[in-house]
Each structure stands twice: as structure tokens, then as C-alpha cells.
Structure 1
């Protein structure tokens, strides 16, 4: 599939400046709330009058509300502002080969609604129909005339575009090769849409509401349909030239090893992913359809699942060491469509290499830890990306 213009640039210079300044004010409010106009002006470099005008506009749009007056020494108490959590919502939708997940969150990133829908197939017509149903269910009775719908973040497994691993294996979406998912979903959902790689969206969710809150540089290994990597460096997600950064599942960890659907031998995905776990269990006559099936097997102490965990820990340890030396993250997070207990067991079984930039004394965070956003991490991340784009200013493009 291809993505055309997933993040729009406003047309005129004046309009870009106006949008940028709104995002500057919203960003400072979010980080320091409650906060007054003079403080926003001081830290943003905008004039007090400009800040006052922007705040009046944001109040009218119900994105900001008054948070009372606070005394700051001599003079009259200062009127403070904070985000209006319920003034706006964003929709997140994750598309997997066999299911779709939906989440609705408010401006503070709090979850208002979640759902899971099974997919009989993942053709565009089927996915679009289910997406419309998720939208209707999420917004029913929740968004009145005074509540702004910011848009939707649609999360899909990569890769994007026709590349050497397109359509490979059980993680692939079929029939999307020549489609523009941004255009498809904007028409179907009747709202602005951002399309993102599932691992990247999951990383954003963990930064907004999970264990990566307060971290600026970290990596997220996402157990979805396959295995992906989300990278956040200095607070910015890393996408690569064509949106395909982080295809960690197709990094070779065992040269000459198992044949992968991409055509390589020894890919990480063939050892340490839900696909690998499903293959191991199917060989023992055990079929699994969801993470709940894996969780039940783990609780029962299924020997075949335990064998898979033991086998996966080696290649996964090697991959973590590679990620550490490539990106120098504060931590590596594991999460997604794998039960917490299994992820905890995998982490405890890792034999992390000592030859790593992460192997240092006095660490503030563990080298590897489990995410806290659960199985809906990517869908929540899709919604979080929409909020991020609303609040976080970007340097304007040259004209």
C-alpha cells in the first residue's frame, strides 16, 4: 500500500503561523498545566496579547478551560488554564489480518471506549465496512455539538509501498497493494485521518499513557500480527524515508536458519513472534486464535508454549542488543498482542549481551521492560497520534 500526504501542510504562510502558535500554546499548557497567560508568553516568546487572543480562541473551541486563580506573590491572583479533557476526542483504529480494534480517547489521552471486531478477511471493502461500524459505536451518544472530533489514527502493519517483504506471511494485509489508505479511510470515516505503522503507534501510546511517560528516547518491540519496532528519539517518532523504519521482524538473527515468508532465512519473526508461537503450537495440534488462547495455555503451564518461550529468548536477546547499539535508547519496551504474563516470562528469560552501550552502571530504567497499555496499545496509539498532531508544533515547511 502507499500513503500520500498523511500529515497535511496548511496552505498559506499566515495560516501555518496561526496553527503553529495554537499548537505552541496547547503544548505548553499540556506540559505545565495549570498555567497563566504571562508564563506562556514568557516561555513561548509570543506577546502577552497574542497569547490572550489564542487562549480566547481555544476556549471558544472548548480545548482550554479556566482552572481558577492562584496567588503568585504580590498582585492579583493569576488566572490559570488547563486542557479541557472532554472538549475533544480522537478515534484510534488498528487493522490486523484477522481482527480490528477501536479506541476513543479524550484530549488528555484517557480511554473512553474500546472494541474488538473479528475480520472474515482483510480486503479493503471488508475493513472499510468494519471501520464505519467502529466509528458509529465509538461516537454514539458521546460526541454532541459541543465536543470536537479531532480525527482518526488508523494503524496498520507494514511495510508501506511495494518492497522486498510486501505481502509476506501471516502478517500481510491482502488487496491493499495499490491503495492509498489515507484517502480510503478519510472517505469512509468522514474525518481527517492519519495512517501509521502499528509499532510506531504503540510506542506513542506508551509515551502518552504508559511506562514511557517522561522518556524521550526509547524503543518499543511490538507483538502484533508480526513483529515490529517503534523508535522514539528525543521525543520524535522515527519513520524512515518511506514509513518503513522498524521492520525488526525481518532482521536475520540466525543466518541459514528457518525460512521466512519474506524469502530470507533466520528472521527474528520466525523465532520470537506470535506467528512463531502459533507455528510451534500448531505442530503439537494446538490451534490458537487470539492472545486469550495463549494466556489460557500459559496459565495451564502448556509445555509446548514454555518450549517456545525458551527458544524465543535467545534470538530476542540478540535483537535487543542490536537495538541498543543502534539507537542508544533509555529502555526497550515489549508489548502488544501478547499476554502480560508471557511478556514478563520472556523478559525474565532474556540473556542480554554485555557488549552493549546499555550495559552501564547507575541506570535509571531497566534495559527491557513490559509496556502497560495492553493489547489495545496500537489502537490507543493511533488516537494519541491525532492528539499529538493537534498539540505538538512542527517547524513550518519552506515555501
Structure 2
């Protein structure tokens, strides 16, 4: 038996590049994406992995270094002859803003291209219509950029996540929905306000992306993310791709009926999941008991104190959520269902512990290596982090077909 040390893991494969001049933008993403996954890396290594010529890689690296995206790491030690110069992502070279707009609050993050969070904040909102939200987003962006130490020219753009549905207003008066946006294209409106490119995404989908980038979804190709905002949303990742639906509204899980004839819901139905298992439902149950808790910190304090009203909500929320999870499992066959968002970790842990998942599910497999339900680790800024990650992903990840 050999006593030699194990071989290092193989580097991530690069998407194939193209030497055509029309594909220069695509090739920049190929090089950036490879270095992001395999830093430090040299020109010849990148050329071999991407199919680009060494000269093309050299030209692209020179441009990326001049633009501040890459930084030289010196020459590789121990290599024969003239060691190759190694390159890595320069975290000060670029960053993206991420916003989560809720009816009662705005979350903002600024994430650099190396993945570090440079700024994070929660801003309470008295109103969340287009004019009011744009004003607060502009103020929050200026503060984030100033505190990050980066120049505004280094900001690639902003991702903004909002609770659905998109493109329609259901006039159901829900506290979990944004009102006044039905006739406004949020991407165009906010891009004009911020004077930078803006990507708009469903909040639960963005949260799922964040959890896949830096959370428990990192090793999962197919999973569901049940997102606790004010209401309840669902992000779906299938074989590494997010499922958005025809109009970006896939995942409206909050208004699936899980208790026929049950509690009345603002949407006009009775027995919706959101009426039992959401932060909105929790706040109402607490209010009925004469307890007010608007923030995650206040909810966490009640949980630590063993507040009876909070315990009652956990007991009432778990059964309908168990049925909804079984429905997701049988419909989508995920590797796991992840719970995360605005609720404190310990509250989510207790909710998961109370679940009674049906045995009649395709996810109830004898070869299962992880629990059917996991708690996310990205915390209350999950969706805002996902919004920033969308912008960075668009910058460093090439599409399958070069444009």
C-alpha cells in the first residue's frame, strides 16, 4: 500500500470559451469564472481548461487586471523553470448591492466580488410603494457604498428582491404583499432611480440562490426553500437552475389550502398555509395573547422565555407545514426542503423538530444521507444576499451559449 498523500481535488471545469472577437464578453466571464473557482490560477492552466488560446487568455487577463477584477499573486513556488504568474479575484475590484423590499422593512447588503459582505443593514419602512421605496433604496445604497470603502464606479449593479406575485395586484389586502407596484416595472423604475443596472427577483427564489451559494444548499442540485418573510414564499432549484414560472411567480406556496374550511385568509380562501405557518400568523397569534413582537430579536426573546403564545403557534404551525412539505416532496422530488428567512434560527429549529412528515413520500428513502428538512444558515439577510449574488453571478458566470 502506498504511503503517499492523496492527490489534491481536481480543479473545477471551465465553460468552453471562443476565440471569436464577438465572444469577447463571454470569454471574460469564462476566465473570471474559472479563476473564481480555482484561484490562484495561471494563464496556461486557464487556457487548457477553457479551450482558449494562451494569447487570448493573456489579453483577457491584462484587461481584467487593468479593470481591477484580478490581482497578481506572484509566481508559483516550486515550479520548474520560470514559474507562471498566478491570479486571483481582487475583492476590492467590484461589488454588488442587494436589497430585499418587504412591506414593513428594507434589507440592504453590499457584497464584494470575492464573496465578502461589506455592509448589511435593516431599515424600517412606513410605506413601501414605488416612490417611498425608491427613496429609501437610494439612501441605503449611498450609505452602503460610503461605508464599504469602495468607489461607486466599482458597483456592478443592484439586485432587488420583492414578494410576489409579479405583474398583478390581487386586491386581497394582505400585509405580506407590496401594494402599488402592479403598473410599475420595478427593474426599469429602480434602475433609473439608482442609475445602475438592476435585476429584480422573487424573494424566495433569491433566498434559495443565497443558500446554494453559501449555505446548506451548497451541496444540493435540487431542493426547495420555504422562505419566511412577512408571509411565506417558495424558492425552487431543479438540477442547479431556479424555477421561476412563466411570469416569475412560481412558488406562491402561502396560499395553497392545507386546512379545508380552516382559518380565513386575506386572499378570500380558508385554510391557507400562510394563515398558520408564517411570521404574519405568528404575530397575529401573539397579538391575540396581548404580546407584541415585530422584530426577530423580540421573537427570539419570547422563545427563550418559553412564551406560551409562541409555543402555541409552533404547535399549530407544524401540522399544516408537514402536509405542505410532503406535497412538495411528491411533486418536485427534492433532495431536501430548507426552511429559512426572517424567523430566528432557534424558532425554526423548534418548528422542524415538531414536523410529522408522512411516510408516504418519495423523499422517505432508505438510502437518504441527510434529513428531509434542513434549516438554512444565511439568516434574515438571506434574500438580500441572494440579490447581490445574482448580480455577481451574472458578471463571472458565462452562459451556455456565447452571445
Structure 2: runs of 5+ lacking an equivalent: 1-19
CA distance in 1, matches of 2:119, 2:37: 25
Q: 1:115-149 deviations in whole A, cap 9, x for unaligned?
A: 11111111211111111110111011535559611
1:250 paired with 2:255, answer yes
Q: Segments of 4+ in structure 1 off by > 6 A?
A: none
1:303 paired with 2:305, answer no
CA distance in 2, matches of 1:15, 1:261: 55
Change in CA separation of 1:145 and 1:102 when aligned onto 2, cut-off 3 Å: closer
CA distance in 2, matches of 1:148, 1:173: 31
Aligned to 1:25: 31
Change in CA separation of 1:117 and 1:22 when aligned onto 2, cut-off 3 Å: same
Aligned to 1:287: 292
Q: What secondary structure is seen at the aligned counterpart in 2 of 1:31?
A: helix
Aligned to 1:89: 95
Change in CA separation of 1:168 and 1:392 when aligned onto 2, cut-off 3 Å: farther
Change in CA separation of 1:15 and 1:245 when aligned onto 2, cut-off 3 Å: farther
Structure 1: runs of 5+ lacking an equivalent: 1-13
> Which of 42, 46, 50 is the equivalent residue of 1:40?
46
Q: 1:222-244 deviations in whole A, cap 9, x for unaligned?
A: 10021011112222222111101
CA distance in 1, matches of 2:299, 2:132: 27
1:394 paired with 2:389, answer no
Alignment check: 8 A CA contact 2:145 2:151 kept: no
Instruction: Provide TM-score, normalisation by structure 1.
Output: 0.91
Q: What secondary structure is seen at the aligned counterpart in 1 of 2:33?
A: helix
Instruction: Provide TM-score, normalisation by structure 2.
Output: 0.90
Change in CA separation of 1:359 and 1:75 when aligned onto 2, cut-off 3 Å: farther
Deviation at 1:168, TM superposition (A): 4.6
CA distance in 2, matches of 1:366, 1:279: 31
Q: What secondary structure is seen at the aligned counterpart in 1 of 2:166?
A: coil
Aligned to 2:60: 54
Aligned to 1:135: 141
Aligned to 1:6: none
Aligned to 1:70: 76
Alignment check: 8 A CA contact 2:23 2:402 kept: no
CA distance in 1, matches of 2:100, 2:128: 12
CA distance in 2, matches of 1:187, 1:127: 13
Q: 77-86 or 329-338, which moves further after superposition?
A: 77-86
Q: 57-66 or 194-203, which moves further after superposition?
A: 57-66
CA distance in 2, matches of 1:252, 1:397: 44
Q: What secondary structure is seen at the aligned counterpart in 2 of 1:246?
A: coil
Q: What secondary structure is seen at the aligned counterpart in 2 of 1:76?
A: coil
Q: 1:154-200 deviations in whole A, cap 9, x for unaligned?
A: 1111010126x465511111211101111111111111101111111
Alignment check: 8 A CA contact 1:16 1:396 kept: no
1:207 paired with 2:250, answer no
Query: Aligned residue pairs: how many?
Result: 384
Aligned to 1:5: none
Aligned to 1:150: 156
Aligned to 1:271: 276
Q: What secondary structure is seen at the aligned counterpart in 1 of 2:159?
A: strand
Deviation at 1:357, TM superposition (A): 2.1
C-alpha RMSD of the superposition: 2.0
